[in-house]
Amino acid sequence: MALKETLQQLGAEKNNPCVSISMNTHRTRPNTDQDKILLKNLLKEAHDRVTKEYDKKTVESLLKKIKTVRDEIDINANLDSLHIFLSNDTQEIVKSPWVASKNRVNISTQFAIRPLIKAYNRSEPYLIMVLSQNKVTLYEAVNDTIIQEVKNEDFPFTDNIPATLYPEKLGDAKYVDDLTRNFFNKIDKSLVRMHKATDLKCVVVTTEDNYYKLMQVADIPNIYHGYVTINTNKNTPHYIVKETWKLIEELQSKRRGEAIEELNKAVSKGNILTDLQDIYRAAINGRGDLLVVHQDYRQPVVMNDNDSFEVVEDPSTPGAIDDITSKIAWEVISKKGRTIFTEQDELKELGKIALKTRY
């Protein structure tokens, strides 16, 4: 199941209880041996809390899942974090390339999907075009992983390469310049067709000079994220995507900074909320446009009957929701708003959580 669909399914579920387990993991041995021990301990904590807080007969199916879910996980094939979601009706395991802020067990009436929201926000599909005047190759990628090489009527591009046409004229500067412009124009039109078919933007792997020439003839320049240069001796897809991912990470960090700027500009218009109760009510009423939460902020609460809550310090307080920000984030996203978790301290001028409202 794709991450978006998993997020929607888990976010919509209401069950009592919903158990969410998040832990950091390692990709290589022998460090994965530590993961086995940590997973065992977190599952035991979940089991002990559920049996203490709920009648065993009502959580029989859940307790069975807690006991057996470890058998479903290949601990030697982990990424950087592991997230387990269990209820009487649900079992979902998600491996993420993003580090979890803390190893924790969360028990509530809804799943703590905050780590998945972060992963979804930072999971970015895009195109990689490896551009030289000898060959042009196109890949589809997500974050730091190549999904596939694109092979269609346009790519890979090997026809009408400037250096292969009329080599006796390559000393004519105007001829070479016109030929090169025509070459880049054809490449751009091919990329535009791919963009319209997939809605994906592109990182170009090429020289600064080639990228400059491409931008001169580009029909829609903003479909290009930018370019990176690589060592020509290291041109494997695995190496290429590691370099393009650095550019995508920079763009994502810039977007998070821009989101905070958007909040600050909205203060003067009076449509910024920083009180947790006000934020919650606005979110469930569909008024949330942009929610920004500091990565380290979590708040356990006990819900009342009138869409309000009492803040508590201990998440194990009877009837407590371990983290109300996870619920708020889902309410904003499910109603077509935006949610960003950030480590940038600029947010703290407004507080640890702030919501820009639609009205």
> 324-334 vs 114-121: helix axis angle to the nearest 10?
50
pLDDT at 55: 92
H or E segment and range at residue 210: helix 208-217
Determine the pLDDT at residue 171: 65
Last residue of a domain, one of 205, 225, 254: 254
Residue 299 lies in a domain: yes
Same domain, 210 and 292: no
pLDDT band at 187 (very low <50, low <70, confident <90, very high): very high
The b-or-e profile of 323-356 (16+ CB within 10 A means b, else e) is bbbbbbbbbbbbeebebbbbeeeebeebbbbbbb
What distance in Å separates the CA atoms of residue 151 and residue 141, rounded to the nearest whole number? 14
What value does the mean pLDDT take over residues 289-306?
A: 90
Greater model confidence, 159 or 142: 142
pLDDT at residue 231 greater than cutoff 90:
no
d(CA 26, CA 356): 37
What percentage of the chain carries pLDDT values higher than 70? 96
Asked if 168 and 236 sit in the same domain, the reply is yes
Does some domain include residue 18?
Answer: yes
For the chain, give the percent of residues with pLDDT over 90: 64
pTM of the predicted model, to two decimals? 0.75
pLDDT higher than threshold 70 for residue 160: no
Per-residue pLDDT, 250? 95
> Do 112 and 200 have their domain in common?
no
Q: For residue 201, what are the domain limits?
A: 125-254
* Domain identity same for 228 and 215: yes
Model pLDDT for residues 99-125, shown as the tens digit of each residue: 888 899 999 888 999 889 888 888 889
Res. 167: pLDDT tops 70: no
Would you say residue 261 lies in a domain? no
Q: Is the residue at 80 inside a domain?
A: yes
Last residue within a domain, chosen from 230, 254, 278:
254
Of the CA atoms within 13 Å of residue 296, those in its CB half-sphere come to 6
Q: Which of 74, 107, 123 is the last residue of a domain?
A: 123
Q: Please answer whether residues 124 and 248 qualify as being in contact, where contact means their C-beta atoms are separated by less than 8 angstroms.
A: yes
Is residue 28 one of the residues assigned to a domain?
yes
The answer to whether 210 and 131 are in contact (CB under 8 A) is: yes
- Output the domain CATH number for residue 350: 3.30.1330.30
Question: Average pLDDT for residues 187-193, to the nearest whole number?
Answer: 97
Q: Same domain for 133 and 240?
A: yes
If asked whether residues 108 and 147 sit together in one domain, one would say no
Residues 93 and 132 in one domain: no
- For residues 49 and 114, membership in a common domain is answered with yes
Assess whether 103 and 15 both reside in one domain.
yes
Verify that 132 and 66 share a domain, yes or no.
no
